[in-house]
Amino acid sequence: MWIYEKKLEHPVRVCRPDVKFAKMVIAQYGGPDGELSASLRYLNQRYSMPTSQAKALLTDIGTEELAHMEMIAALVYKLTDGASPEEFKEAGWEGQWVQHDHALFWTDVNGVPWTAKYIAALGDPITDLVEDMAAEQKARTTYEHLIAATDDELAKDTLRFLWEREVVHFQRFGEMLNTVQEWMAKSKHVWMGHEFKKEE
């Protein structure tokens, strides 16, 4: 169980509504490299991790990714606050308005709904941790693209915070990958399809 603190992990503010930019930010809500994908990936993969330390890391980061999804939701909502159907249409996001009004929905920038195909769990801790590292790098790159796409300094502050967390998560996963590889070697577990036999 988790204790939920009823505040955002980092303040989310915008200088002004901007539906066109909101359409871009939605990528991190329901896109393939977004926060929903990350949270579900890690909270699912934790069950097949071989050590309690690895399980704990995936639980911690997976839970934090839920907080990041909450931040992205707040950002998109503020960027569309009070927007008219005409503004959604001008932004090329009329499909959002027709199907959801101002409600959020997990899609990418093209309106494609989120799918479980975006995530994987292979049961091999090395494979899964390497995928997690790649996922963090893809999210980092997406945040860099979003930061470059707006002149809203308040929105950039939120995006920079999320960018920093992707960097930290990548580092933590890399450290855990080393730890798990060492554990598998010392414990003579199957590693890369072969039984690893420690030298006497």
Average pLDDT over residues 142-157: 98
pTM over 0.75: yes
Binding-site residue positions for Ca(2+): 60
Alpha-carbon span 181 to 31, nearest angstrom: 31
Annotated binding site for Mn(2+): 35, 65, 68, 136, 169
Question: Which tokens hold the place of 157?
Answer: 């502050």
- List the binding residues: 35, 60, 65, 68, 136, 169
- Count of CA atoms in the C-beta half-sphere (13 A) of 159: 29
How many angstroms separate the CA atoms of 198 and 200, rounded? 6
- Average pLDDT, rounded, for the chain: 92
Give dist(CA 120, CA 122) in Å, integer. 6
Select from 1.20.1260.10, 3.40.50.300, 1.10.645.10, 3.40.50.970 the CATH code of 19-195: 1.20.1260.10
At 165, the amino acid letter reads R
Q: Which of 83-92, 133-142, 189-198 has the lowest mean pLDDT?
A: 189-198
Domain chopping of the chain, boundaries: 19-195
pLDDT in tens, 2-52: 677 889 999 999 999 999 999 999 999 999 999 999 999 999 999 999 999
